[in-house]
A and B are shown apart, each in its own frame.
Chain A
Amino acid sequence: MSTERIDLPQGTLDLLILKSLSLESQHGWAISQRLQQISKGIVQVQQGSLYPSLHRLERRGWIKAEWRPSDNNRNAKYYELTRAGRKQLEADTASWRTLSRTIGAILDSA
């Protein structure tokens, strides 16, 4: 396990889920694995927040779900980005970039 783990700021989990679904549709477990891999274990998603988040995104119409056979031939619930979700991802990404750049600039300036 990694030494340093950080709690995700509010709302960023939704952004990360959208991002990880932007390449291909995935099921819940794969999403958590992927987030963990890419972040090199720094981001560890609590399942307690992953599934409510997925349900919330589905309700907003940003992702949609479908049951289909997975690699080990069992049915799994796959989540997929919708067009609205893709738009949301772009918007959220842009605003996140601006925010982190701005905060970085403020932190550097001192």
Chain B
Amino acid sequence: MTSKLLTIAHYTLLEAARNKLLRLALFILAIGLAITLFLKQVAITETREFQLTFLAILYRLAAVFVLAAFVIVSQVREANDKVMELMLSRDLPRSSYLFGKLLGYLGVALVLAFIFALPQAFFADLPRASLWGLSLFLELAIVAALSLFCVLTLNQVVSSLGAVLGCYALSRSMAALQLIGASQASEGGGVLSRIADYALSGIAFFLPRLDLFTHTGWLLRRDTYVPDVPWLIVQCVVYTVLLSLAALFDLRRRNF
């Protein structure tokens, strides 16, 4: 079973290479660096901070979008070309197919995180750039599992991509939304505010705490909050497992 899983992961990585994903990542890298050079000319002070902030935000969002788009388009193409049906008609358990695909996508996430973290090492110090890169990989792992779950459930490019990006944005801003909801409820906002506060807290239980991942501040200042790395790993593993089991649940129920 392991060899089948690894074979699928290998072909997933091969597909990423043939889709010129590496070239796209390098192109985004070059664009970011070019804009950074431009920022160096226009910023009067805190030039390095300007460059780092811009690069960190651009690369993180680009990595999330590229990975989510790749997973979704790849899966939809495989479904349309009946490749998935062909593979599952062979002696291949659905779980091997799913975890093999996930492993391949995690490999792509690792490559993307490495590429986009590399230039940060030139602007920030190496340990902080490494921490940022590790956190980006963990964040991308969740995005890969989320994309796989959404595309296996929705089977459409636009709706899957919308669901992934919406879920990502919500996870990133949920802590701030909770604080706003809690402050309004405590300031006598009435029953509706309290209901909204409870609803937000309830939704938050189903989302990963992405607001604690990959902060630009880690790259900028030495005195800023440094994350609890083991906790980030636990959150990533738990949520990735949850999403992949949910995806497997849906895949196992499907009739081809």
A and B interact physically: no
Residues of B within 8 A of A (CB): none
